[in-house]
Amino acid sequence: MSQQLTAPKITQHYLNQRHKKDLFEKRGLDPKWCEVNCRSTSTNQATELLGYTAQSDGIWLEGANYQGQYYPDKRWSSQGKSEQKSPKYRSPKGEYDIMLPIHPEDPRYWDDIEALKLKCYIIDGHPCLVVTEGFFKAIALCSHEVPTIALQGVEMGLTPTDADPQGKRYLVPSLEKLARAGFGFIHAFDADAVTNPNVIDAQRKLVHQLKKFNIPQYNVTGLWTEDQGKGIDDYIQLNGADKFKQEVLAKAVSIDKWEQQFNKKEETQKKWTQSSLAEELAEEYRPKLAWHASRKCWYWYAHKVSGVWSQTVDEAIGALVTTEAKNRLGPVFNHDFISGTIKFLKYELAVDEWSEAQGLIPLIDGVLDPKSMKLLPHSPGYRFLWQLPYKWQDRAIGCQPIIHWLSEIMKQDASLVQLLRAYLKSVVTGRSDLHRFLEAIGPGGTGKSTFLRLATALVGKENTIVSTLKQLETNRFETAALYGKRLVLITDSERYGGEVQTLKNLTGEDDLRNERKCIQQTGGFKYTGMVMIAANEPVQSSDYTSGLKRRRLTIPFTHQVLPHLQRDLDSEFKPYLPRLLQWVLEMPDVEMVSLVDDTQNTVSSLAGFSAEFLLDTNPLADWMDSCLVLEPGAKTYVGTLSKSAELYLYPSYCSWMDETGSRSVSLRRFSECLIDLCSNQLKLQGIKKGRDNQGAYITGLAIRQPGSDATRPITGGGDSALTSLYGASDDLSDDYVTVQTLVSDRTDELISEEQPSTITENCQPSTQNSEECAIQPITTHHHPTPSVTNGLVIAVGTTADYSGEKVTIVGWKDNGKQVWVELPSGKQVLVRRGSLKSWVE
Per DSSP, the residues of 772-810 read S-----------PPPPPBTTB---TT-EEEETTEEEEEE
Task: Decide: 437 and 531 in contact? Cβ < 8 Å.
Answer: yes
Rounded distance between C-alpha atoms, residue 544 and residue 504, angstroms? 12
- According to the model, what pLDDT value does residue 136 have? 95
Q: Which of 662, 664, 646, 644 is nearest to 654 (CA)?
A: 664
Rounded distance between C-alpha atoms, residue 549 and residue 42, angstroms? 77
Fold entry, domain 394-602: Rossmann fold (3.40.50)
Task: Decide: 358 and 382 in contact? Cβ < 8 Å.
Answer: no
Cβ neighbours for 205, distance < 8 A, ≥ 6 positions apart: 155, 158, 169
Rounded distance between C-alpha atoms, residue 815 and residue 828, angstroms? 18
Phi-psi region of 804 (alpha: psi -120 to 50; beta: other; left: phi over 0): left
Q: Which of 493, 614, 478 is nearest to 554 (CA)?
A: 614
- According to the model, what pLDDT value does residue 270 have? 67
**Which amino acid is residue 107, in one-letter code?**
P
Q: Which of 298, 304, 302, 283 is nearest to 245 (CA)?
A: 302
Q: What are phi and psi of 483, to 5 degrees?
A: -60, 130
Rounded distance between C-alpha atoms, residue 353 and residue 433, angstroms? 19
* CATH number, domain 17-261: 3.40.1360.10
Burial call 792-809: b when 16+ CB within 10 Å, e when fewer? bebebebebbbbebebbb
Q: Which of 645, 478, 614, 615 is nearest to 552 (CA)?
A: 614
> For the CA atoms of 485, 488, 489, 493, what is the dihedral angle to 10 degrees?
140
Task: Decide: 812 and 820 in contact? Cβ < 8 Å.
Answer: yes
In 3-state terms, what secondary structure has residue 495?
coil
Which is it for strands 361-363 and 487-490: parallel, antiparallel or unpaired? unpaired
Rounded distance between C-alpha atoms, residue 555 and residue 83, angstroms? 79
Rounded distance between C-alpha atoms, residue 832 and residue 822, angstroms? 14
- According to the model, what pLDDT value does residue 815 have? 62
**DSSP letter assigned to residue 25:** I
Query: Domain-by-domain residue ranges, the chain?
Result: 17-261, 274-351, 361-393, 394-602, 611-735, 747-838
Cβ neighbours for 393, distance < 8 A, ≥ 6 positions apart: 365, 375, 578
In 3-state terms, what secondary structure has residue 553?
strand
Which is it for strands 68-72 and 58-62: parallel, antiparallel or unpaired? antiparallel
Task: Decide: 310 and 484 in contact? Cβ < 8 Å.
Answer: no
Architecture of the domain defined by 747-838: Roll (2.30)
Domain 611-735 has CATH 1.10.10.10: yes
| Beta carbons within 10 angstroms of residue 572's beta carbon | 12
Q: What are phi and psi of 174, to 5 degrees?
A: -65, -35
Burial call 475-496: b when 16+ CB within 10 Å, e when fewer? eeebbbebbbbbbbbbeebbeb
Task: Decide: 467 and 478 in contact? Cβ < 8 Å.
Answer: yes
Rounded distance between C-alpha atoms, residue 40 and residue 37, angstroms? 11
Rounded distance between C-alpha atoms, residue 230 and residue 244, angstroms? 13
In 3-state terms, what secondary structure has residue 548?
helix
Query: Is the alpha carbon torsion for 443, 598, 402, 426 positive or negative?
Result: negative
Expressed in angstroms, the distance from the first to the final Cα of the chain is 92
Mean pLDDT per 10-residue run, the chain (841 residues)?
Answer: 54 93 94 95 94 94 93 84 79 92 94 94 95 95 96 90 78 94 95 86 92 94 91 94 94 90 56 92 93 91 93 94 89 90 95 90 95 93 94 94 93 92 95 89 85 94 88 76 86 64 72 60 75 78 63 85 70 93 94 88 74 76 91 91 91 89 87 87 87 92 88 65 33 31 27 32 33 30 39 75 82 74 82 79 71
Rounded distance between C-alpha atoms, residue 377 and residue 355, angstroms? 19
Let me know the angle formed at the C-alpha of 556 by 559 and 500, rounded to the nearest 5 degrees.
145
From edge to edge, which strands make up the β-sheet containing 818-822? Answer: 828-832, 818-822, 805-813, 799-802, 836-838
Rounded distance between C-alpha atoms, residue 469 and residue 504, angstroms? 11
Q: Which of 744, 796, 795, 790 is nearest to 766 (CA)?
A: 744
Report residue 767 CA to chain centroid gap.
46
Rounded distance between C-alpha atoms, residue 248 and residue 225, angstroms? 11
- According to the model, what pLDDT value does residue 509 have? 64
Q: Which of 487, 302, 286, 461 is nearest to 385 (CA)?
A: 302
- C-alpha distances out from residue 14 to 24, 51, 339, 764, 830, Å: 14, 22, 63, 76, 83
Rounded distance between C-alpha atoms, residue 259 and residue 210, angstroms? 14
Cβ neighbours for 207, distance < 8 A, ≥ 6 positions apart: 187, 217, 255, 259
Rounded distance between C-alpha atoms, residue 208 and residue 255, angstroms? 10
Helical spans, DSSP H, in 429-551: 448-459, 469-474, 501-507, 546-549
Task: Decide: 150 and 132 in contact? Cβ < 8 Å.
Answer: yes
Cβ neighbours for 290, distance < 8 A, ≥ 6 positions apart: 298, 299, 301, 309, 349, 350, 351, 354
Rounded distance between C-alpha atoms, residue 712 and residue 736, angstroms? 12
In 3-state terms, what secondary structure has residue 310?
strand
- According to the model, what pLDDT value does residue 539 have? 66
- pTM of the predicted model over 0.85: no
Let me know the angle formed at the C-alpha of 812 by 810 and 813, rounded to the nearest 5 degrees.
155
Rounded distance between C-alpha atoms, residue 740 and residue 353, angstroms? 53
